[in-house]
Amino acid sequence: MKKITAFLLSALLVGQAFAQQAKPASLAIGSAFPDIDYTAQDVLHDKQVSHQDLKTDKGLLVIFSCNTCPFVLRNIDRTQSILATAKQKGIGVMILNSNEAQRDDADAADKMVTFGKAQHYPNYCLDNGAVLADAFGASHTPEVYLFDGKTGKLVYKGAMDDNPSEPSAAKVMFLKNAMDNMVAGKKISPDETKSVGCSIKRVKK
């Protein structure tokens, strides 16, 4: 009995270690945009783009999103407000869809076009192979990353506000506060929050 218990415990620990190893590490605050080769197809304008094309001297906001996640749909108004703030402050925006496992279904390119146009997104980029999601260690939709335009460093990551499940009841606008403070050259606190939403649908390797 002891041998069986020891074997099961060993198998469990190995499984946990593998799961931890397989999970991409989250991009740390203070990091630059990941230095990787990638292709991001902006389906709304039918062209390849990179963060270099979309960033401004004020900064870059990266949003991991998708077409059908209930949390994304529930936060449409919040997202529109964030996009308006980014535009008003001159911050570049890159909206990514990394749901590689659903390219033949809910997150196909043509459905991205329909959804992105309906939301008046400035761009909507197909993250081929979810390589950017992996490089960022992004895990959910919606999930945001804010880079400072002066330093190029990550200054905020996580959720848009303190109530992704019920945006109308949110009291603290984490991302808006971060954008305001970044542009004003002030300290951002908190600079990291937990993202809440649907898991990014990666292809199992």
Whole-number average pLDDT of the chain? 91
Q: Which amino acid is at 190?
A: P
6/130 Cα distance (integer angstroms): 38
CATH number of 26-199: 3.40.30.10
183/58 Cα distance (integer angstroms): 7
Q: What would the pLDDT profile of 159-204 be if each residue is shown by its tens digit?
A: 999 999 999 999 999 999 999 999 999 999 999 999 999 999 999 8
Q: What would the pLDDT profile of 107-116 be if each residue is shown by its tens digit?
A: 999 999 999 9
**SS3 state of residue 129:** helix
Q: What would the pLDDT profile of 24-67 be if each residue is shown by its tens digit?
A: 789 999 999 999 999 899 999 999 999 999 999 999 999 999 99
Domain residue limits, the chain? 26-199
